[in-house]
Every structure is written in C-alpha cells, then in structure tokens.
Structure 1
Amino acid sequence: MDFLYALCLSFATFSLCFLLFPILTASSPILNHSITPNFTATNMQFIDNSGAFLESPNGTFRASINTLESIHSHFYFSVIHVASNTIIWSANRNTPISYSAMLSLTIHGLSIADDSNRAVWSTPSFNSNIASLQLLDTGNLILVDAQNVSLWNSFDSPTDTLIIGQRLYVGTSLNGAVGNNNLSVDDYRLAVTSKDLVLQWKGQTYWKLSMEAKAFKNSDTPVSYMEMNRTGLYLFGADGSEVVFQVFLETSDTKIGRLGYEGVFSISGFMGNKWVQDFVKPVDICQRPFTCGKLGFCSNQNPTCICPTGFHYDAEENDACVPIEDTISLPSSCDESGNSGEFNSSTVYLELQKGMDYFGNHFNRPVNHVMNLSLCQDVCSQNCSCQGIFHENSSGSCYLLEYNLGSLMPMTFGEEGLLGYIKAISTVSVIPDENKKHGLAVSSLVVIITFSGFVLATMLVMIIIWLRKKRYDRMTFGRLNSFSTADLEVVSIPGLPVRFSYEELVAATENFNNQIGSGGFGTVYKGIIADKTVVAVKKISSLGVRGKVEFCNETASIGNIHHVNLVKLRGFCIHGKQCFLVYDYMNRGSLEKILFGNESNDPVLEWQKRYEIALGMARGLAYLHSGCQQKIIHCDIKPENILLHSDFQVKISDFGLAKLLSHENSKLLTTLSGTRGYLAPEWLTSHGITDKTDVYSYGMVLLELVRGRRNCLFQCSSTESDVSEGNGPSFISTSWDLGMVYFPLLALEMHKQRRYKELADPRLEGRVRIEEVETLVRVALSCLHIVPTLRPSMTNVVAMLEGRLHIGEPRVEALEFLRLYGGKTTETSRLLTRIG
C-alpha cells in the first residue's frame, strides 16, 4: 500500500514538472528577426538577453536596448555585432535613456520615449503603414510595409561606423563620437564628396583619400558613394559600375570602418574572434587636428604637447594655449552679423617659432601668392573669422587660419619658409587722457606740416623729371609704356612664385658659368641665391612665340604643384626675351649620370635603390596625370629628367614645360618635341597625345633601370633626336647591323621564356630580387603596348609596383612592333641562342 502511494506521488510530481517545463524554460524571450506593430520594449523587459529583442537570421547581429560598459545609466537602442559586442549603429546617440524608457513600434513608425513619455527619437512619417521591423543578415535594420517594400533603413542613417554592403553617399557622412563613454556627435566627420573621401574637423579638411599611396584612382568620373566589400574600400560613380577610387585590404567576411573619437578613420576585419586593423588614417598623431588642443604644438618626439613661446596652458579655457601676457587675449569668434565686437581694440600678431605648421595649410589654397607680411596681416585683421596667418616670404603666399583653431604640427620638409602668426587683441586702452590728447594733437600737427612739405618737394621733383622726359623720342616712350603694361599684367597673375631679378641670377650663377646640364627646353646652371640656398637655374630656349603673360600663367600653374617626387619650382625671371626658371637643386644629379656612369670606379646603383626609383617616378607621374587640378602631360620622360636628392629620393623635373593641359583639352597636343628612344608610336601619327604617352616613356626608362644601360646604343643623327611637326624619323633602326642589342625586344623574348634574371644588370652580380625583376619587366612591357588604351594608367602602375594590384600578362601581339625598332627576327633568334 505504501509502495502504491509512493508510486502515485512520484507520477504526480513528474506530471506537474512536465506541465511546468515550458514555463520554466521560457524565462528568456525567444529572439526573432522580425516583429510587428503594437510592440514595446525596455531594457528591463529583455534584461536576460542583455536588452536584445531582435536577431538577424544568421545570428551575426542583434538589436537591443543596451548600456555602455562604463556608464550603466545611459542606454541606447543599437544594432550590435554579436561576436565582438561592437555597436555598429545607434538611434538615440545624442540623447541616452534610462533602463525603463520605452521603445515602441506602431503602424506609423518606430520611436523612443523617455521616462516622462517625451519623444527622444523617431523615424519619419510614411505614406504606408508599417507591417514589420526586420534585422537583416547584413546588419541593416529596416521597416517594411505590407508589400514588403522598405520604408526606412538604418544604413541610410549612418552614425560613426560603416559595415560591408552599407553605402555612404555624397552629402552624407560618418560622425565621430565624443568618446568611448559618450556616443554623442562630436566635431569629426568622414564625408564623401564628388571628387574624394575626406576627414574634417569642424568643417576643416585634414586628410584626403587621394593623397594616400595605397589609393588607386581609376577615372575622373564624379563620385556617387563609398562602399566596402570583403577585399577593400571603393568609391563608385553614379551607375555603380565604375570604380573611381579603390583601396585593397586584407580579405575578411566581416569588416567595419569606424571614425574614432580622436579623429582617426580605421577599417578592421574580424579575424580569429578579434578585430584586426588594416587601414588607419592619419597614422601620424601630430597630423590630427586637435591632438594637443587649441594652439598646442604636437612634437613628433613621443609625441609631446607644448605651448608655443609666449603662450601657456589655461585650465579655465579647456587647456587651450593662451598668451602669457595678461594684456593680450585671443579674439572671440564672429557673431551672427559677422562682427566680433572687438574692432575697437588693438590687433596684434604673435609670431610662432620656426618649424611650426598647421594642418589647414596643406589643404587650403593661399588667399594670395604675391603679398608681403603686412598686407597678409591686414587681410586677416579685416576678417573677424580669421584667427591667424602663415606667410612665406620668398613667394609671398598668405594662408589664413579661419574659425576654430586646432593644434600646431611640425613643419614638413620643403616648407621651412613658412612662418605663423596668431591674431590677438591687446586689452590696453588706446584712448588717452585729456593731457595726452592735447599732446597728441600737437604732435599730429607737426607730422601734418612735415608731410605736406615732403609732398610739395616730391611734386616739384616730378615736374622737373616730366619736363626732361618731354625731350625723349615718342617711340621710345611708347615702348617703355608698353613694357610697363605687360609687367602689370604679369604682376596681376595669381599664384606666381617669387620673381627674381636678372641681376640676382647673374650673381647666383657667377654670370652663368657653372653649367650642369642641358636639354630640350634649355640650359641648366647651378647657383646660390641670397639666402644661401643652392638652386638650379634653367634658361628657357624653346618657348617659341609664347608671350610673357602666357609664360607666367604656365609658371604660376607649375609653381602651385607640390609633390614629394616632383622638383619644386622656387621662382622665375623674365629679362627681355629671356626666361628663367629657378628650381631646388638636386645634389645627386640625374638618373642618367648615376645609371650610365662611364667611369670604371663609379659605384653601381644597387637593386633596392633602382626599385625605389621606379616607384618614385610612377608616383610623381600619377600625381601629374590625376592628382593635379589640371592634368599635366610631361612629354619628355627620360633618365636625364629624373633627378635624385639626398638618399636617392626621386624628383621629376621639367614637368609642365611642354604644355599645360586641362582635362577637356588633353588630346589636343600633337606637335611637341620628345627624345629619340623614349617616344611613343603615336607621336608619328595624327592621333592626339595623352597621358598614355608618358606611360610609354616610363616603360622605356624601367627597362633601362633593369639593364643599367641605354635601350638604344647606336649613335642617332641630329635629325633623329627630336620630332617636329609633320616630320618624324623612321623607327627602323640599324642597331642589329651595328651588332648591338635593342633591349626592349630582348626583354620581350626573354619574358616569353620567363628568363628574367638574365635581363638584370650584370654589374650587380646577382644582387637582385628575381620577383622584382620580373615585376619591373612585366610592368614595362605592359607600358609599351602600341595601342595607348592597352597601357595601364600611372596610378595602376603604382598599385602594381606596391603589390596592391595584380600585374596582367603583357599582350605579345601589341608588342610585335618592337621588331621594327630592333631589327630582324633571325638576328634576334641568333642572339638568344648565343646568350642561352
């Protein structure tokens, strides 16, 4: 009987547990990827799921009302990457809520209200009723109607993060947060423009994608949007099929691009349960605009932050650097009417130490190129938004620092002439007492009388001079007047570099006795100008009938081009019909002298330097072709125009002298001079010259870098040196008859047999990297295709040399024309047999 009772009791207990089992196992709500209207949620309601109530079908993302780990009182409605617990999107980032605040989904939209039932955030109104809220596998949170048409999605409302498949359109941006513990929008933004991807601080640009060596530009099509995929970052044109910019990255199925609170844009891939960064810009902490606060100087040592001389940190001003003098203060910003309210005070300028620079100087054009320091300061004084200036005395360039001031940074190489001045207000009263007023009035009267006497004397002298000039011949006077008018036109050209006098250049070059080179555009002399800077002075001899004003217009354009692989134009001179250009002097001379040195004791150029030279040349040409405001085609790429400085740093010279071309007119150039051996086949036809003409010449120079000798070793006659309009040389050479090798044809034949090592300079005695020899040869042959459109762009070449872009197979059929250049096929076969 007891046994039966115990058995019944056990069965009843088991039955009760079985009936209660669903209840006991349902303490945590089951996550769905879709919910329907009349749904509400708080963090408390879903606390066992960490506030999550939606999950993507693949479980990668969740939507939740969660808090930051460090601040448990601030809650946000967010989409989270589950594996890393990373917030990729947040609705109410500017207005955090409490754990009991409510999120509501109705047929009219999605909204968040605080504890007082005050609306904190909501989606816009729609023409259709909401049918459901869904979280997709991509991480996109969407609202759809009954026909499953998307009415709103989180991808179109980006915060500080971008993920794979999400597009950032022109006019939209990522906005950085205040800090790790505060998601509120701060002063940094990553914006897509029609031409570029830029980082900005308070509206001021401090980084561009186009300035990055790893950024490969495909076309000049206007940008429509930015997007990431598994392999990289891309800027697309309007139709989505044309890539304008691309950056190749490590392959990863999950990537996020994030604008950090410190102003750094990074892209990371999720690998091995952690984020691995493979793109961080800007890398240099001193290039970030507010690293050291307002006017703090960021030193590359450590880095450390210090105030400039005459300034100190002020805790009451958020640790900004302010003037030490109590009687001097920094100006306030403009009010709505454009006034600062301080124009009655005395404006002064506090000079910064040499070697200090400002990030804005690298992204803003100077307001003027021909302006002395006093005028530059006057321009700033009359502009209440101007907070300071940078001025370069040699060129007269004047840069304004407007609106909000950031940190100062170290000066980059080549910009040592810039000096900064911070605008300040003197608080010392400028209104004297009555006695001082009386003394001032007497002093003013004395000054006025003295000045009047001076004016009368000056007028008398001018009348005498004018009477004497009446004796001069009228034609002579007319010529002088005409020259003056032309000079005034030249002075009015914006962007001109410093203008040297002829006497200055005569003294600098010891009366043009120190000749260091000559070329198609003139003779080059070494000189030392007044400030002890060593320069190269080029005397232009082939500008034809170009007028003075046209020459200066082109000079101004060349002077505004700055790149690490281009020779810097310091100034110019016009003396009668003679024109001179003054460049920085390159102390190692030209590639031609170093590569083809005839002295037996000349050191051989090592392979690593050769590869670096090839890459530097490519970067410089890529900038000329696609990085400038106006496309520049060099038209005379050869070793003589590749100069080397310091540690064999490449500097391309003579760019812009042949012809400055706009994008619209880049095919109009058909009659320029070039150098025999480096001319592309299209020079001999009526086809227009394009940037692909430079690509061909670059390919020829690459082969000479590999072999260490001229491609064409036979002596060319004077008629073969240049190509003039309608009369070009035949490319059928006699090199084989002279028993010499035409190296491009040999390179093609050896490429077919994959025998790259035998093409390297024998003087290197095997000190080469075979894979790099192959890279240079394959790139060079691709550059030599007879059809210009088959040649890669220089930005492509840079990407291939850097290993970011696959090197395609050179098209042999487009290179067979080299046989006409190099001689008979039978002779080629005999030669290959001999060296094999």
Structure 2
Amino acid sequence: MRTFLFCTSFLFYAAFVSGSLFSESISPNFTASYYQFIDNKGAFLLSRNNGTFEVAIFNPGGQTNFYLCVIHVASGTIIWSANADAPISSSGKMDLTVHGISIADEDGSLKWSTPPLRSPVHALHLTEMGNLVLLDQFNGSLWESFHFPTDTIVIGQRLPEGAMLSSAVSTNNLSTGDYRLAITDSDAILQWKGQAYWKLSMDDRAYTNANYVVEYMAINRTGLFLFSHNGSAVVIQMSLSPSDFRIAQLDASGHFIIRRFSGSDGEQEFVGPINGCQIPLVCGRIGLCVAAQSNGPTCSCPQGFHEVSQNSSGCVPSGSSLPLACYSTKNGSQLNSSALSYSMLGFGMDYFAIDFSEPVRYGVNLSVCQEFCTSDCSCLAIFYDNSSGSCYALENDLGSIISSTAYEDDMLGYIKVIVGAPSDVHNTYSSQSQQFPVIALVLLPFTGLLLMVVLGLLWWRRRKVSNREIKLGHASSLSSGDLDSFYIPGLPQRFDLEELESHSMDNSNSGGGQSTSSSGSGVVYFPLLALDMHEQGRYMELADPRLEGRVTSEEVEKLVRVALCCVHEEPSWRPNMVNVVGMLEGSIPLGVVKSKRSIWRLKTITDFFWAIVNFIGVFFATMFSMEKSNAYRKGSGSGKKWDGGPGGPGSGPYGGGPRGPPRGLDNVRGIDHSSLPACGSCCG
C-alpha cells in the first residue's frame, strides 16, 4: 500500500514538474511538446521579472499546425517563429541539446534546427526584449532570434541593410507570404513578388535628414529610424509618441504597421501605405480599386472584364483568357502573336508599380509598345503615356488596377489576352481543368481499345511462333521467338542458337570445328567460316569467283581481318568507322583477330544476329570500296563502269550517271543482303 502511494505521489510530482513554466533560462538536455505544457497553452519559458514574453509551442487560431514561437504575452502577438514554413502536429516536440535547438514531428522527421554552432550550448535564454538566445558556458551568444526576423521587429532589435521582413500568409498560417519589407542602402521598401509598391521616404510623416548609406532600421521609444555610422547618424526618421514598448510588423495584408502597447492595450500608430489601393492584391488580379476616405477601398471589375467567382477576388476578360507568364510550368510553347490581342482598361487607370519603375521604351507610339509586349512572354500588360510616349511593361505577375484622376486621359492601360478563348472560364488554369474530363472521356476508351488490339496481336504472334515447326525437330528458343515477334522485312534470316550449333559446331568440340564450312542445309555462320579461312590462309575462297584477277589475296586478307575485328565479343573493343577506314587505307595497323571462341561466345541469339549483320556489313562495304577502286584503276576515263556507261567524271559511282551494285555483291553463299545496314551502324 505504501509502495502504491509512493508511486502515485511520484507520478503526480513528475507530471507537475514537467508542466511547470521555466523562468528566463533552461539548460540542455530539455524537451518540450504542446501536450507536455498543455495547461500553459504550450508555453514553457518566460522572460525575467514581469514575463513580458514567453516561448511556446503554439497553434494560432486553434488550428492543427503548431510552431515554436516567441509571443508578447499581453497582446498575444507572435514576434518570432522558428518553423514558419514547416509546422508540426500537436505531438511534435522541441529538443534543446548541446548542439542547439531542433524541432521534429511525431514521426521523428526533422522540421527545423539552428545552424551548426562554434561551441556547445550551455543555456537557452529569453531576454526581457523578446530575444531568444543560445549561450555558451561563458554567457557568450552563439545564436539569436533577433538575427533571423520573420515579420516583426521590437524595441532593441536591428534590421540591417540587405535584410527583410516577410509577411505571413494569414494570421493563422505563419508560412511565408508574398510581401516583403526590404532595407536598402537608402530606404525601406515594401515589395510584392519583387515589385515595389511603397517607400518609407515617400510617406508624409517621414523626414530625410541625411544622404548617408543606411546601415540598419530600428524602432525605439520615440519612433522609427534608419541609421547610419553605427547609429550616430539618422538618415530617415519618423517621430511617434513616446512609448516603452512598440512593435513594427509587416501584416499579412501587405501593410507595414507600427503599434504601441500599454499593458494589454494596443494602439496602431502608423500604417503604410495609407492608401489601401496601393496594396498590390487588395482587389485581386486585375480587380479595379477605388479609394474611399471612410470605409476603405471598394472593388469592382474594369469595363470588358468580369469577376472570377463569388468565392475569389479578381477579374478576367470577357470572351478571352489571360496568357501565362514565361516562368509558369503550364505555359508550354510561346503563343503565336496572331493569337494575342490587348483589352483596353479605359481612361484614368493607374498601377501600383509604375511610380517605382522605368519605362521600357521612350518616345514611341502605342503599336510599338504593344509589339514589345507581344514579343516578350513575361509581359502581361502595358501602360502607355500619351503625352510622353513612354511605355511601361507589367511583367510576370498582375495585381490590382487603381482608379485614378491624376493621369486623366494621358495614361492608357492594356491587358494582353488570348483571342478566341472561352469567356465562361475563370482563368487559363480553370479552363484546362474543366476540359480535362471531356478529353479523358474520349481518350481513355480509345486507349483501352488500342491496348487490347495490341495485346491480341502479340498473343497471336507468340502463339504462331510457339507452333512453328523447326527443321531440327524441337521448339525454338525463347530469345528467337522474341526476335520473331519484332521481325523487320529485308533483314537476313534469323536462326536459333541450337540451329547455329547444329550447322556450325562440331559434336566433339563445343568451341567449333571444320564442320562450319559445310552443312547439309546450306546455312553457314559466316564469321566462323571467315575465321577458319583466316586461320588456314585461304582468303581467296571467300571472294566472289567473278572477282578473280581483280583482287589480290592481300586485299581480301585485309578486309577479312578488319571484318573479324568488328564482330569481337566485347563491343568496346570493336573498331569504330574511323579506325576501319584507317586500317583499310594502311594508316592504322590491322587489329589482332581473336580465337574462334571469342567470336562464338555470344550470349543470346540477339548477339548472334547483330554479329552476323555487323560482319557482313563491314565485309561488303569493304569489298565495294576495293572493287570500285580497282575498276577506276583499270578503266579510268575510257573503260565501262558497273552501269555500262562511258567513263569519265560524269558517270559511274563518282559521276552523275546511274549506279549499279558491284558484281558478286549478291552471290556470297546464298545470303540475302539486299537491305543490310551501312558499316558505320555496325562497327561504330
């Protein structure tokens, strides 16, 4: 009984300790999960004294994705998140070791970790300013969350030149969105997909004090500043009411917002841009934004465009569709210029990026501006200034259109469209998705029927091959049957391995014997016959009798040795066509002919087949070359050539007259070689 009470008390104590909040620092080895600290909503570490900030495994909005976050306790604002683009489930965990912080999901897959550190971790420390720091044994900083900002900075944090804040997709989805606040060497700029839409220096509340190079941006008790000279010089400043705590955040909507807090009460001090129509996607793609002073911007569609759907913002042209930019994976080939046209937006239209970009053409007419856009697949729209002839190109991504009275009739906007596209589609992507079922209904039955026909033909062919009578009295081998299934008319007759062994091998010697030169059926494995003649020096017996007196034994020996090299069992040792020509011309020594076994050791009937084709191709190509050379030596300028025409450069094999095959080409021991491939395809 006492043992049971002790165990129960120990488990209760362990559960209490495991779920308690830590203050300021924790040491390795430490593990935290949402369920382990569920009573604190996933929080396990508080900043010192009043606990302004906390570290928690948190799911904003109560959804299923969890993040390791630093949270401002009073307002519930997330000022930093570790695994914004790689959330974990409720069973995921955070581990603190001497190597740093790692975040893994329930299955153990690593989602996020700190980079390699220069020394072991001694503690994880949360400062009173909200900075999460890894310390070594001497309290030196190894890694800080302030150096890797997400969408927010706080008092005491610097955002250096070249760094940026990235918006979240939404309040509950912390994944990286499309908006950026970039710090350049002269300004702070808001961007959407690389296109600027607001600058701090353009705001009426910002003042430029100097033209120094900007080193970093920071907020403090008195406002927002761009500093230079290590903080001793102010380049741009925005003065705000004094406050002990404020945050600057790039909102998911694309606004840059500064808030100050007094306890749990927060107040918005600044928002940029102040004109809501300057936000690139405030009304969706090609949506028309009209600024209103009281209720915010209102959205509609330009003339000639209609809404995509009731559930999504943006507009598409009526009776046509929008082309895709170059970088799109669905763009395919470049559209024909005749399929493109331009839909006019009307007068008094503006676009957010025009004030931050330079014209692509100066002093041109409208047709030149449109031709430029037509030839560039990245160009999706143009704005043309009538008064100056300036041409502005809108590239890669389109945002909302702004209704403006500032330009009156001087600025004209045109959207590139595909002519003749269906008007009832939302966009190019939805058009493709709607057409897919129709295409599938047509193609799938046809494909299935075609597949059945092909399979039936293959089955019939295989059955025919299996029933074929073999002269030797037994069924053909599998490899031969496979080759017969892919018979190509005009190629030499194919024989099984057993047939070749029967006709070309001696029963007492598996390596081959004299029987290769004589067979009752008249079928001869020509490479072995040539090898026998080579070993016996009887080269002239291989030549066509009608060539007697026109070729020498040395010439036949040369071509036989070259041909035998071309049927070597190792393909990489066979000479290419350049070497074959070199050996025939005498510039390269003749190759060494291997033994009979090296020719016979071919693994499958396919090897036999291509070896024969290889040998015969080289043999007759060489014989053709030799006979042609002899004919020209004997009858240059006056003799008859193969076609019986007169001599001279205008006839015969090298002239303009008709060509005929060399004598003897069709009379080599009954082999049909009327459609043999060229030697280069065999020996190369």
TM-score higher than 0.5: yes
Q: Structure 1: how far apart are the matches of 2:272 and 2:247?
A: 14
Taking a change above 3 Å as real, the CA distance of residues 393 and 118 of structure 1, as seen in their structure-2 partners, is same
User: Is 294-303 or 172-181 further displaced after alignment?
Assistant: 294-303
Aligned match of 1:54: 45
Q: How does 1:99-178 map to 2 (within 5 A)?
A: 99-178=90-169
**1:315 offset after TM fit, Å?**
3.2
Alignment partner of 2:196 out of 192, 196, 205:
205
Amino acid at match of 2:61: E
User: Is residue 374 from structure 1 mapped to residue 367 from structure 2 by the alignment?
Assistant: yes
Per the alignment, in what secondary structure is the counterpart of residue 201 of structure 2? helix
User: Do structure 1's residue 231 and structure 2's residue 222 form an aligned pair?
Assistant: yes
Letter in 1 for 2:298: T
Alignment counterpart, residue 323 of structure 1, candidates 314, 317, 322: 317
Contact 1:333–1:340, Cα closer than 8 Å, also in 2: no
User: CA–CA distance in 2 between the matches of 1:189 and 1:235?
Assistant: 17
Counterpart Cα distance in 1 of 2:311 and 2:77 = 34
Distance in 1, matches of 2:306 and 2:405, equals 25
Q: Which residue of structure 1 lines up, in the alignment, with residue 302 of structure 2?
A: 308
Counterpart check, 1:390 vs 2:383: yes
8 Å Cα contact 2:99/2:121 also seen in 1: yes
Deviation at 1:35, TM superposition (A): 1.2
* SS in structure 2 of the partner of residue 179 of structure 1: coil
- Pick aligned residue for 2:61 from 61, 69, 82: 69
Larger CA Rg, structure 1 vs 2: 2
TM-score w.r.t. the length of structure 2 is: 0.57
Match of 1:333 in 2: 325
Percent identity between matched residues is 50
Distance (whole Å) between structure 1 residues aligned to residue 357 and residue 10 of structure 2 = 75
CA distance in 2, matches of 1:372, 1:54: 65
Shift of 1:159: 0.8
User: 1:67 corresponds to which letter in structure 2?
Assistant: N
The answer (yes or no) to whether the contact 2:362–2:389 under 8 Å persists in 1 is yes
Contact in 2 for aligned 1:171/1:193 (Cα 8 Å): yes
Q: Residue type of the partner of 1:306? A: S
Aligned to 1:191: 182
Query: How far apart are residue 45 of structure 1 and its match?
Result: 1.0
Q: Distance in 2 between matches of 1:414 and 1:384?
A: 27
- Give SS of 1:349's match: strand
What corresponds to 1:404 in structure 2? Answer: 397
Instruction: Give, in whole Å, the separation in 2 of the partners of 1:20 and 1:66.
Output: 26
Q: CA deviation at 1:197?
A: 0.3
Q: Given that residues 33 and 57 in structure 2 are in contact (C-alpha distance below 8 angstroms), is that contact kept between their aligned partners in structure 1?
A: yes
1:43 and 1:417 mapped to 2: Cα distance?
A: 59
Shift of 1:142: 0.7
- Equivalent residue of 1:115, what SS? coil
Please name the residue that 2:336 is paired with.
Answer: 344
Structure 1 residues 196, 381: CA separation in 2 closer, same or farther (over 3 Å shift)? same
Question: What whole-Å deviation, never above 9, does each CA across 1:635-664 have from its counterpart, x for those lacking one?
Answer: xxxxxxxxxxxxxxxxxxxxxxxxxxxxxx
SS in 1 for 2:119: coil
Matches within 5 A, 1:539-554: none
Deviation at 1:223, TM superposition (A): 0.8
Q: CA deviation at 1:147?
A: 2.2
In structure 1, C-alpha distance between the alignment counterparts of 2:316 and 2:118, rounded to whole Å = 55
Deviation at 1:316, TM superposition (A): 10
Q: Is contact 2:324–2:330 with CA below 8 Å preserved after alignment? A: no
1:376 and 1:391 in contact (8 A); partners too: yes
Give the C-alpha shift of residue 340 in structure 1.
5.9
Q: Which residue matches 2:264?
A: 273
The match for 2:417 among 420, 424, 429 is 424
Distance 2:328 2:11 in 1: 69
Matches within 5 A, 1:465-476: none
Deviations 1:48-83 (A, max 9, x none): 222111111131111111221342x22111001111
CA distance in 1 between counterparts of 2:183 and 2:330 reads 29
Question: What amino acid sits opposite 1:130 in the alignment?
Answer: V
Deviation at 1:266, TM superposition (A): 0.5
**TM-aligned CA deviation for residue 382 of structure 1:** 1.6
Report the counterpart of residue 210 of structure 2 in structure 1: 219
Deviation at 1:264, TM superposition (A): 0.6
Q: Which amino acid aligns with 2:314?
A: A
Q: Describe the SS at the equivalent of 2:217.
A: strand
State the number of aligned residues.
412
Q: 1:264 & 1:281 partners in 2: Cα distance?
A: 6
Equivalent residues in 2 for 1:285-300, closer than 5 Å: 285-300=276-291
Instruction: Kindly state the Cα deviation for residue 20 of structure 1 after the two structures are TM-superposed.
Output: 12
Paired residues of 1:299 and 1:305 also in contact (CA < 8 A) = yes
Residues 226 and 233, structure 1, Cα contact 8 Å, conserved in 2: yes
After TM superposition, give the deviation of residue 413 of structure 1 in Å: 2.1
Distance of 2:62 and 2:26 partners within structure 1? 30
Q: In the alignment, is the contact (CA less than 8 A) between 2:56 and 2:71 conserved in 1?
A: yes
For residues 752-798 of structure 1, what are the alpha-carbon distances to aligned partners after superposition, in whole Å with 9 as ceiling and x for unaligned?
xxxxxxxxxxxxxxxxxxxxxxxxxxxxxxxxxxxxxxxxxxxxxxx
Question: What residue identity is the alignment partner of 1:378?
Answer: E
**1:118 CA drift (Å):** 0.2
Give the drift of 1:23.
8.5
Q: Distance in 1 between matches of 2:214 and 2:351?
A: 28
- List per-residue Cα deviations over 1:326-369 (Å, max 9, x = no partner): xx221101038998623325221110111221111111121233
Contact in 2 for aligned 1:389/1:420 (Cα 8 Å): yes
- Give the match for residue 93 of structure 1: 84
1:81 pairs, out of 72, 85, 101, with: 72
Distance 2:365 2:15 in 1: 83
Q: Identify the residue that residue 754 of structure 1 maps to in structure 2.
A: none
Secondary structure, aligned partner of 2:372: helix
Aligned-partner Cα distance in 2 for 1:339–1:181: 32
Structure 2: stretches of 5+ with no match in the other structure: 1-8, 423-684
Q: How does 1:522-533 map to 2 (within 5 A)?
A: none
Task: State the distance in 2 between where 1:94 and 1:267 align.
Answer: 24
Residue deviations 1:74-115 (CA, integer Å, cap 9, x gap):
211100111122111111112221222110011111010001
1:365 matched residue in structure 2: 358
Pairing 1:662-673 to 2, within 5 Å after superposition: none
CA offset digits 1:559-615 (Å, max 9, x no partner): xxxxxxxxxxxxxxxxxxxxxxxxxxxxxxxxxxxxxxxxxxxxxxxxxxxxxxxxx
Alpha-carbon distance between aligned partners in 2 of 1:27 and 1:400, rounded to the nearest angstrom: 60
Aligned match of 2:34? 43
Task: Return the letter of the residue paired with 1:116.
Answer: D
